[in-house]
Structure 1
Amino acid sequence: METEILVVGGNVAGRGFVSSILKINPQTQITLVRRENKALVPCGIPYIFGTLKLPDNNAVSDESMVEKGVNILVDEVTAIDKERKLAVTASGEKIIYNKLVLATGSLPVVPGIGEGGNFNNIYFIFKDLDYLTLLKNYLKEKKKVVIVGGGFIGVELAEELSKLIDGSITIVECGPTCLWQSFDLEFAQMVEKILCEIGIKIYKLETVKKFIGHKGNVKQIELTGGGKLDVDAVIFAAGVYPNTTLGKAIGLPLDKFGAIKVDKYMRADKDIYAIGDCASKQDYFTGEPVSVMLGSIAATEAKIAAHNLYNLTGMFRNGTLSIVLTSLNGISFGSVGLTEGNARVRGFNTKIGSVQVYDRHPACLPGAVKQIVKLVFDKETGVILGGQACGGQSVGELVNIIGLAVQTRMTASQILALQMGTHPLMTPGPTMYTITNAAENSLVK
């Protein structure tokens, strides 16, 4: 088989690349190889267990790509000869390509299980719809579930499982709070308060010391603090790492996090590009290697690779900025860039601007929700370093606006002077708009 472009991987990065390259040249011959029968929405995985009802509701249709002539193979690329531009799949298919795009994603961190070896009721969050369907069916009748990891997947999964099972759900987190890497203490405490209100138990500054099993299943876990928890199932949501087996096998350099090294155009080698979780990232503020794996970043990298595949353009990656969002029990949370704590660790002398207002005006309007915004500025230059917000659904786009301010290196004075549209049913009042008022509050301190 011959193809102009071979894409290995079919989640956000792979699909996004195909979408962009077909906009540039609809006649491009593309072959996409993925292991999974169906592609899914990675960030939608927790909602398979509750809100989405059916796991298949999180599947992404291939119809659009197929209609545009994309050749999709459900297979696995097992070997690549980059000199001959030849890929071989597990089924024995040989694919000759001109350009190669690696979008192999990431895999869940699988820690050592410890005493007793493997257990039947320890699970991980793989991006595989068939696996996740089996997991959901297994968990339906369970009464005691422990989630190891209090990051975004962990807390969202905990909330969704509370809709699925009639029993206890516990999070074991090694850090000082859930979501501690993305939020300052006051926001993390709001997250934990919501989780506790819906019955989730949280153990912080704890890890699993030992699994105690019987007849192939874990029955109890012992924590490093000495406590023991009875369990019917354990789910690890303790992070992911780049899936770079192919890249490493063909001699592509890796960074200290195990990701394929790429330049600002996403090039890994001559006629080879890497995008998404498998590709290296450079910190937006320092340029140093960083490990940030988000679907939104993968989508951006896919566009950059597509637009630079044949001719380098003015579109390139200028560092990786973490912009994260979540929603728990109807309250939205978002964070961008540096938290106050992270900024101080990096040596910044910070100024903070905060504000609390309702997201409609007047506040007595139906559906009004309190909106809290915190902006972090460099005291010396006034440049915004990051921000956090919580409130109603509008928090999502509010945080994206803060992200735009960070990426354009706006100062507090420039943010204060921004012209914003307001409406009683959609935003705070014109004199109380959150971002501009938070910036002003930082200036008058």
Structure 2
Amino acid sequence: MLKTEKVAIPHLKVGMFVSALDRPWLETPFLIQGFFIQTADDIASLGQYCEYVYVDHSVRPRSEGQARTLMVKSQAEAVAALFPGKSLHGYSDSGGWHVELPRAKAALDTLADTVKSLLEFREKVVLDLPRIKKAVEPMIESVSRNPDACLWLGRMRKLDNYTYQHSLGCAIWCVALGRQLGLPKSDLRSLAVGGLLFDAGKLKIDRSLLLAPRALTEAERPLMQKHVQESVKIMRKSGVINQDVLEMAAYHHERVDGEGYPFKLAGNSIPVFARIAAIADCYDALISQRPYAQAKTPAEAIKVLYDEKGKAFQPELVEEFIQAVGIYPAGSLVELSSGEVAVVVAEYRSRRLRPQVIVVLDENKEALIELKILDLMQQTHTADGKPLEILGSLEAGAFGIDLSSIEL
């Protein structure tokens, strides 16, 4: 018998291992690393998205109970192998996003003020490390309790400088991924500080180069790449001795296939915290409006990361990042099948296609006088019985919507 077989949905059986679909995994709510069919409901769910799938007959559980946990255990073991000697543990949401929102706002207000006051263009850059450590703590606590509020506010907040905005965003994404990985609070602190500072060396780069509204020339690219070494120098001058934080700065542009810079490191030669930083750095850059590039939607950015899985980025870390932030992270502008336009406010990390949203435009694309919250896990159909789902992401600013003006 062939190890992998193309099987039409009606011919699937409980116990089979689905290794591939007839469409991209990201367009479905299923585990992106494959899964066992456990019940007839799983087959029915596959039928909603696929006409056929690929079944790997060589992957067989030794018992029915094992079928339910084998793939989750396999991913967990792969993640644990990235952090030998560390005790990883799962975080659980301690409250809804609306409960966390005021605490997250206070945390990001403090962090944004700190970023703006510390990351200034000046000749001699020395960072106030104790102030930075104190400023990241409330954000870490907020993300630990429920990341959706910080993810929402991080997308809503628009600082007046891309460097400031990028530093804030990277710190949030790094901590969100660290939480998903189950890293202890001490490591979340390292990720927060590293995410905030790994691009600090750009303060030493000529502003005309940083703000160039075009792709850099071959001669200019090495000048920009010097920000890596400059970041490490600034950190050391500022008293940073945490090796994880220094490695995030030194190696966040390395890539697992060896095509990064400045050292062309590959695979496990790249420190794992730097591999985390690389994902956060790329994702935040992709969803941000830059002088030389239009912002992508979060869904488009996630697809870029997914397509680079195993090439630029560590596969297990990409998969965990997708689980952490979802296909439609908080702050994403989306169009519903009803014709309404909404903003995602909370991601169901187990069902990434059906988050909670705030509807801001009706089916005629007219602004609502009163915003309404929909939980797409609970509300699956419109009033007239038609399926209610997300059709896709919209570009920031679509239909004249100013995300930063939305208040809850």
- Tell me the TM-score normalised to structure 2 length: 0.24
Which structure has more helix as a fraction of its residues? 2
Which structure has the larger Rg over C-alpha atoms? Answer: 1
Which structure has more strand as a fraction of its residues? 1
